[in-house]
Structure 1
Amino acid sequence: MTVAQLTLDPAFVIGAVDPRLFGSFVEHMGRCVYSGVFEPGHPAADDAGLRTDVLDLTRELGVTTVRYPGGNFVSGYRWEDGVGPVGDRPQRLDLAWRTVESNAFGLNEFMGWARAAGVEPMLAVNLGTRGVAEAAELVEYTNLPGGTAAADLRRKHGVGQPHDVRLWCLGNEMDGPWQVGNRTADEYGRVAARAGHAMRRVDPGIELVACGSSHSDMPTFAAWEATVLEHAYDQVDYVSLHSYYDPEKHDAASFRAAAVDLDAFIDAVVATADFVRAKLRRTKRIRLALDEWNVWYQSRFTEPEDRGIAGEPPPLIEDEYTVTDAMVVGNLLISMLRHADRLAIGCQAQLVNIIAPIRTEPGGPAWRQTIFHPFALTARHARGTALRPVLTAPTMPTGRFGDVPVLDAAATVDGDRLTVFAVNRGEAPVPLHLDLRAFGAVTAVEHLALAEADPTLANTAAAPGRVAPRPLDPPVFDGGRAVVELPPVSWHVLRLTLPQRK
């Protein structure tokens, strides 16, 4: 087979696309917060010290939800340190990244940033070094209007109205031996159930995310999810997944096909959650939160312990992304859309500087990395209902997954708008035959592609616009059929209009 065919039908439905699928992540790590989202004195800073250039790019990126304050950082964090008068806040040793945390940016500053960015906050509680009482008190401080000690403390701090945070993470990567206060599945499941119960007693309307495995290669994967959910099934709404892909860990073809691994990971967690549902004879279905994911050159990362205790947070994992990396990110988003019936939340890690779509220089510019573009365009156009495509394509060999389809695709429909997302993971061009006859007389209005003759090109401070999506001629449909040529190692979005239904 030398050509590929994609067939779509409005009756082939996966499920509604939750806007929270296009979330991000801000952690007190490296330069994500300080000189990332927050830099008093920067020429673009507002009165609160927030970088307005980063705010502008965050809105352009289309981020809907942002997880805060960690990440590994949260497992040793005292939320009380980051509220109240800044001059009274203590400096603390951060055990996760072995730096000194100034606490100049804390909960209320983050909530102000979230309002300015137009994003929904997703807060994590510390279940590493702290527990049930502190988690419940944080919900009280954050969500109750007043009349209790913690809510009145917030009002004393100048925040009269509650923040009304709906999404809460019950800790972070609690299965990981690197995590401060890590626990066994039984230990974590019990404390998650107790914390969730107490937090819901404060605010019954919140949604809770239980920690799943830190990644699918963990020796306790699946058994961890099953045990945790047996303890906490009735208290939680979501179970988390974390998944990073290293371009240098496996052969190049396996990296380009990383979405194959994400598909399998999601399917396995869904199966495990449904096993527990059946075992406990429950009716509700647990949904998934992929609340950390990205491409990460993890093999280059040096653990903080190797350099001793740092003062100001130093730069960490400020990876520079290529066209190939952007194609993989676009493909991971396709995988996420393919699971829209169960995957409700996604948080690309992280938003700024740390393996991020947005980079900044202290006192200097902010710019878009290559991975910014597939995220922004998917967040903008993947609306409505995800469709189940029927795709036949040539295959390519990979060292990790065997032979895999060289092309991958997803589609969404929203009223009279049909959007197709596609990638070519291979090193040769492939013609894609589109069969959309089931929709009637479709018209292509735009075709944007991220593709370069040199897939190693990246955006930098010196050349921030070197790589960007380029418009191609939209395909012309004849009887609901058209052909699109997909260049090697490329990501595409095709926007089409559908005939009005009578």
Structure 2
Amino acid sequence: MSKARITIDRDFTIADVPRRLFGSFVEHMGRCVYTGIYEPGHPQADERGFRQDVLALVKEMGPTVVRYPGGNFVSGYRWEDGVGPVEDRPVRIDGAWHTIETNAFGLHEFMDWAKEADVEVMEAINLGTRGVEEARSLVEYANHPSGTYWSDLRRRNGAEQPFDIKLWCLGNELDGPWQIGGKTATEYGRLAQESAKAMKLVDPSIELVAVGSSGRSMPTFGTWENTVLTHAYDEVDFISMHAYYQEHDGDAESFLAESVDMDAFIDGVIATIDAVKAAGKHTKQVDISFDEWNVWDQVKFNDVESVEIAKAGWKKHPRLIEDTYNVTDAVVVGTLLNSLLRHGDRVKIANQAQLVNVIAPIRSEENGPAWRQTSFWPFERMARLAKGRILRLAVSAPQIETKRYGGVDAIDAAATWDEETGRVVVFVANRSLDEESDLTVDLHGLSGLRVVNAETLTIPEGGDRHTANLETTQDAVHMVPLAGAEVVDGAVRATLPPLSWSVIELA
């Protein structure tokens, strides 16, 4: 058994927990919308077609904000296609995912669903094939009260009151050669600047997210952010980050260390933002919207699924990247959440992509059940329990050697302290595949606490690191009690199972 120590001090905090850090993503892709959140005729669908079994799981999971409608989809999307009488809406091809879009579900339907789910809407606009005029028209349609062409059209379409959408994405992954209407950094920077100006002239209260690099491995990473922000710094409030991780060739040690890459990625974007701020003598602070992140088997998608979809021809909502998540994936998701929380002073928004079916924590079947994937649990626990201030931790742990990152700490952690309630929550992963960790958490300035709950997600009895929640075994992996966690002489003592992500609540 290895030994690890975490030191917490009440006086060393990072920032308030940003509630938008626990966001999700609904894209018109695969079965996320159709047979995901929306399936008229399903036994558990309401009169609007919203699946109530899926909605119940969404509410349980607790996302605070949901990005919509894309994603790659948005770069070829005409928002007008998704409003008005459903029978009059055009059927279009979606070149991004080689599918048929019926437009049976659009902006009004999503706003109704978001109200039911109690989530804030993060609306993305098309800056791939469209531009300034379409962007400002959509803001007018959504947010202007009445008396103009677009606002009155919204009212005729059934929404008397404005949608009042405050958070907007200025396009999606426009640095990518796969993106419809992809652009150079200068082309996009100028378009983002002018679109932002026009949108804020319609509604000055909105917040805007500029497109950052599609990933840290992009050849233009860093220079893209610099150029875009040099043009649009004064007009935008956030710049986006996207990152997806997967296990390569059975290298579980490197996979379990991917939050090291996320940490470095975030730090690099922060450095670029602040360099532009200094060079431009700006006074406002641009922060980060990490509006796509998850575990995703991209190799399988690129080499197999995308080829199969192309061969199959144009289909309505085919199955796309419906990855099945196992114990290892869930622990990685937990460490990525830890990374985002540790950077909560600058990462103010984050969206796990996506919400249902498509690389999602929630799965559903057409005319069938809905269930929680393994990755559901770390998100649900952190979204519900992380409140108050983010604590700055000092971690001392043995090193695990990895092929990609060299030596990394066996223990990965984040923690919060709610001054109003006195509650402290520690989120901690043991990356070791085979060794328990004897953990001590020193509590400086936080006396009188006791463990009120301790849980862990780990390999279930009779299972292995590949055990997953399937339609037939929906609860194979879930949070279970972490035995033996207690406060002794002012410090928390606990034994962390190998390959685990745990939550220790103190009050």
- Settle same-fold status: TM greater than 0.5: yes
Aligned-residue offset at 1:364 = 0.5
Letter in 2 for 1:404: V
Match of 1:409 among 402, 410, 413: 413
In the alignment, which residue of structure 1 is the partner of 2:351? 347
Letter in 1 for 2:428: A
In the alignment, which residue of structure 2 is the partner of 1:462? 472
Match of 1:490 among 495, 500, 503: 500
Matches of 2:331 and 2:365 in 1, distance apart?
25
Conserved 8 A contact 2:288-2:347: yes
TM-score by length of 1: 0.98
In the alignment, which residue of structure 2 is the partner of 1:425? 431
In the alignment, which residue of structure 2 is the partner of 1:191? 191
In the alignment, which residue of structure 2 is the partner of 1:11? 11
Letter in 1 for 2:403: G
Letter in 2 for 1:495: E
Greater CA drift, 475-484 or 79-88: 475-484
Aligned-residue offset at 1:39 = 0.2
Matches of 1:462 and 1:248 in 2, distance apart?
27
Conserved 8 A contact 2:10-2:444: no
Conserved 8 A contact 1:447-1:494: yes
Matches of 2:392 and 2:477 in 1, distance apart?
31
Conserved 8 A contact 1:406-1:425: yes
Aligned-residue offset at 1:473 = 3.3
In the alignment, which residue of structure 1 is the partner of 2:201? 201
Aligned-residue offset at 1:311 = 2.2
Aligned-residue offset at 1:455 = 1.5
Structure 2 residue 447 is matched with structure 1 residue 440 = yes
> Would the alpha carbon gap of residues 466 and 2 (structure 1) be closer, same or farther in structure 2, given more than 3 Å must change?
closer
Structure 2 residue 257 is matched with structure 1 residue 254 = no
Matches of 1:39 and 1:182 in 2, distance apart?
33
Matches of 1:116 and 1:284 in 2, distance apart?
35
Matches of 1:431 and 1:109 in 2, distance apart?
50
In the alignment, which residue of structure 2 is the partner of 1:471? 481
In the alignment, which residue of structure 1 is the partner of 2:73? 73
Q: What SS is found at the alignment partner of 1:291?
A: strand
Matches of 1:307 and 1:22 in 2, distance apart?
37
Letter in 1 for 2:451: A
Aligned-residue offset at 1:2 = 3.4
Render the CA deviation track for 1:228-281: whole Å, top value 9, x for unaligned.
000000000000000000122672211011100000000000000000000000
Matches of 1:396 and 1:285 in 2, distance apart?
37
Conserved 8 A contact 1:96-1:180: yes
| Structural mapping, 1:171-250, within 5 Å | 171-248=171-248
Conserved 8 A contact 2:75-2:126: yes
Matches of 1:146 and 1:249 in 2, distance apart?
57
In the alignment, which residue of structure 1 is the partner of 2:306? 303
Q: What SS is found at the alignment partner of 1:477?
A: strand
C-alpha RMSD of the superposition: 1.1
Render the CA deviation track for 1:21-58: whole Å, top value 9, x for unaligned.
00000000000000000000000101100001111000
Matches of 1:312 and 1:340 in 2, distance apart?
39
Conserved 8 A contact 2:486-2:494: no
| Structural mapping, 1:125-144, within 5 Å | 125-144=125-144
Number of residue equivalences: 497
Letter in 2 for 1:256: L
Matches of 2:360 and 2:466 in 1, distance apart?
17
Conserved 8 A contact 2:442-2:492: yes
Conserved 8 A contact 1:445-1:474: no
Greater CA drift, 470-479 or 450-459: 470-479
| Structural mapping, 1:86-165, within 5 Å | 86-165=86-165
Letter in 2 for 1:399: K
**What stretches of structure 2 of length at least 5 have no aligned partner?**
none
Among all aligned residue pairs of Structure 1 and Structure 2, give the percentage whose two residues are the same amino acid: 55
Conserved 8 A contact 1:175-1:185: yes
Letter in 2 for 1:328: V
In the alignment, which residue of structure 2 is the partner of 1:356? 360
Matches of 2:138 and 2:73 in 1, distance apart?
16
Matches of 1:258 and 1:18 in 2, distance apart?
23
Letter in 2 for 1:426: S
Aligned-residue offset at 1:100 = 1.0
Q: What SS is found at the alignment partner of 1:8?
A: strand
Conserved 8 A contact 1:411-1:418: yes
Aligned-residue offset at 1:312 = 1.1
Aligned-residue offset at 1:483 = 1.8
Matches of 1:288 and 1:250 in 2, distance apart?
32
Conserved 8 A contact 2:2-2:436: no
In the alignment, which residue of structure 2 is the partner of 1:452? 459
Conserved 8 A contact 2:338-2:414: yes
In the alignment, which residue of structure 2 is the partner of 1:500? none
Greater CA drift, 134-143 or 298-307: 298-307
In the alignment, which residue of structure 1 is the partner of 2:166? 166
